[in-house]
Amino acid sequence: PMGSERMEMRKQQMSTTQETPGTAQAQQSTGNRGSNACCFCWCCCCSCSCLTVRNQDEERTRTSHELQAESIPNCEESPAPTLEEVNAWAQSFDKLMLTPAGRNAFREFLRTEFSEENMLFWMACEELKQESNKSVIEEKARLIYEDYISILSPKEVSLDSRVREVINRNMLEPSQHTFDDAQLQIYTLMHRDSYPRFMNSAIYKDLLRSLSEKSIEA
């Protein structure tokens, strides 16, 4: 009896060995057909070719989106601020936001509070307002929505339900002013919430002190 069981086991092993090359070829040819094809892998494990191809495609999609996000410039091009400009930032939030140097300094501060998306969204809305080509407006509006309005985005800005409803209606026919209400709400949020902390931050005080020392030396 033991011998017969051993023979049966050996037959099963040989049968499996003979089937494996054909199965591997099926996996390879299936993988070559693309990520939508289904393989006939006998192991039913996650390492089969069709899932590998699908995972690679998804990884490329994520990488492309991440590169697009990383293409955002670290700062706007601007000359170094003067002592007079930096002092003016303390007079009002409007004066801070009026110059690229002011926006850059404020954006650096927002990054330390993990709320840089507020400035990025505001800047994207300003850029949208400058467009006149309909197709470009629609594309930029779609990207702004995906990057800053969608609840699935890690850069989603904080907006109330009323403003979100307005945006959803506006997205049916995007224009330069699709996000005006949302932009104003974020501007107000930065003014009331982040601006006072910025004025007391080391970033602002160090910049002011540095420019003051240079002014005295001159």
CA distance linking residue 15 with residue 25, whole number of Å: 17
Q: What is residue 215's predicted lDDT score, i.e. its pLDDT?
A: 86
Question: Contact, 38 vs 50, CB < 8 A?
Answer: yes
Sketch the domain layout of the chain as residue ranges: 83-217
Q: Say whether pLDDT at 8 is over 80.
A: no
Q: What is residue 78's predicted lDDT score, i.e. its pLDDT?
A: 77
What number is the average pLDDT over the span 55-75?
A: 45
Nearest to 148 by CA among 122, 174, 168, 173: 122
Q: Which CATH number fits domain 83-217: 1.10.167.10, 3.40.50.720, 3.30.70.1230, 3.40.50.11740?
A: 1.10.167.10
What number is the average pLDDT over the span 185-194?
A: 98
Q: Say whether pLDDT at 11 is over 70.
A: no
* Percent of the chain topping pLDDT 90: 61
Quick one: tokens of 131? 């467009």
Write out pLDDT tens, residues 86-143: 999 999 999 999 999 999 999 999 999 999 999 999 999 999 999 999 999 999 999 9
Q: Say whether pLDDT at 21 is over 90.
A: no
The dihedral built from the CA positions of residue 4, 6, 10 and 12, taken in this order, carries a sign that is positive
